[in-house]
Chain A
Amino acid sequence: MGELNLAQLWSPIRLTIELAFITTILLLIVGTPIAWWLARSKARWKEAVATVVAMPLVLPPTVLGFYLLLMLGPNGPGGSIAGLYGARTLAFTFTGLVIGSVIYSMPFVVQPIRNAFEAFGDRPLEVAATLRASPWDTFWSVAVPLARPGFLTGAILGFAHTIGEFGVILMIGGNIPGQTKVLSVAIYDYVETQQWTEAHILSGGMVVFSFAVILATMMLGRRYGQSGR
């Protein structure tokens, strides 16, 4: 039994927060137009797109991990992208984890935002249009503020879900300290090597974190739910 190495414990925590933060920002950027389109479009095939976005909810992480390992690798598109700057693969990199996480957590962000966009209906947008607001202006000064609870819920869930990601990262990460060894993988390592003190510290922290996150989303839901939309 070695003594506790706090730096060793901190590194995966920091890495995981970074990953979740970047993933959440990207998801808000990518997910918002998708959610908007899904909410407003009259296209018949939009539910097919919605299904594709939602699929990570159902697919086992091993399926995503398997395909990602091939896609990110030297024989996939990821390898071509990596080739632009002289690397061979996006697997085993922080970038690779971000790509995986964005796909994996997409439904958790898109769904609440879409719901929020749908909830306020056509009326506010029509009113804005009669006041000669441009669509762009309408989107930013009417739709986004009205959909704020959806954005908040989406951001919290996307962040939290990325923090808890395990299977996909285990399969594409390569367990590199400071780059791909995230919290869940570090816990797995500690458990496998019977370092249960460290495992307890990190796991206990996760339990508290999850509690706080779910409580926060529930309270958000109540607050916005009662005050009307």
Chain B
Amino acid sequence: MRTRPSWLKMSLAGLASITVVAALSVSVRAAEVKVAVAANFTDAVKEIGALFDKATGHTAIFSFGPTGGLYNQITQAAPFEVFLSADQATPAKAITEGHAVQGTAFTYATGKLVLYSKADGLTLGEVALKEGKFTKIAIANPKTAPYGTAAVEVMQKIGVYEALKGKIVEGNNIAQTFQFVDTANAEVGFIAFAQVALKRGGSRWVVPANMHKTIAQDAVLLKTGANNEAAKAFIAFLKGPEARKIIEKYGYGFAD
């Protein structure tokens, strides 16, 4: 058998070296930033991340979870550099406990709570909650998830919390809560509006903002990221107009 034409080998080698050079030249400027993100912001931050990567050449890597769980990992030296919490208390705590950089906390979004059902054509609202014609209502764990706390506040405000207590099932975070409702294991559930903002179908009641404390979601620069250009760039990007447009699209509001 004849050996393969040498031009093929040469061009392959050439291609490889170009790739290596390209990779090297990018890595001179571009850096990685590891971001811990509260579960409710998952869809929005993925979209923001894609734009961020394109605009800056940096790479944002996201880890999703419940706010409390992520913070625990941060206290045990998790490699996150930016923390997007679902509340204000946890980033504040991160600063006082020495895990985050003083003065970097800011509200990147305010969350909307929605009562949602997978079934079409239901009229959800105070009346539906009072009638309680469902066997299970899903909420996020109110001890760890701000959307869960808000859900409890709403039920208390309407005066149905005690009555509904036996029907409550808790998701470990807002993503799991949505799972319970999306698989119709729970007929209704309080979830983040962002989770269904871009979805069609189902029935929903956007809870008026005055029925619970504002779900202000703060971000903070962690000490591990204090010297990382990409981390600072990500925070700047999150405050910028492109990110805000996406945040708005997912149904979040802003503090200002």
Contact = CB atoms under 8 A, between A and B. Distances in A.
Interface residues of B, number: 23
Contacts of B66: 192
A176 B69 contact: no
Interface in B15-72: 66, 68-69, 72
Interface string A84-95: 000111011000
Contacts of A69: 179, 183, 185
Contacts of B234: none
* A73, A189, A191, A192 — most chain B CB neighbours (10 Å): A192
Nearest to B177: A174
Contacts of B183: 69-70, 73, 75
A174 B171 contact: yes
Given A88-B135, A174-B180, A193 B169 contact: no
Interface in A172-229: 174-176, 188-189, 191-194
B143 A91 contact: no
Nearest to B168: A176
Contact of B68 (A91, A171, A194): A194
Contacts of A87: 135
B153 interface: no
B12 interface: no
Nearest to B170: A175
Contacts of B135: 87-89
B172 to A, nearest CB: 6
A73 B169 contact: no
Contacts of A88: 135-136, 184-185, 187
A32 B138 CA distance: 38
Contacts, number: 64
A74 interface: yes
A75 B184 contact: yes
A69 B180 CA distance: 8
Contacts of B172: 170, 175, 188
Interface string A39-79: 00000000000000000000000000000011011110000
Interface residues of A, number: 22
Contacts of A189: 141, 143-144
A106 B69 CA distance: 31
Contacts of B171: 174-175
B138 A174 contact: yes
Given A87-B135, A175-B169, A175-B170, A92 B185 contact: yes
B68 A192 contact: yes
B68 A193 contact: yes
Interface string B115-140: 00000000000000000000110100
A48 to B, nearest CB: 30
A2 to B, nearest CB: 12
Given A70-B183, A175-B171, A189-B143, 11 more contacts: A69-B183, A87-B135, A88-B135, A89-B186, A170-B172, A174-B180, A175-B170, A189-B144, A192-B66, A192-B69, A193-B144
Interface of B: 66, 68-69, 72, 135-136, 138, 141, 143-144, 168-172, 176, 179-180, 183-187
15 contacts: A69-B183, A88-B185, A88-B187, A89-B185, A92-B180, A171-B176, A175-B141, A175-B171, A188-B172, A192-B69, A192-B141, A192-B143, A192-B144, A193-B143, A194-B68
Nearest 8 interchain pairs by C-beta: A174-B169, A175-B170, A192-B68, A91-B185, A73-B185, A92-B169, A89-B185, A192-B144
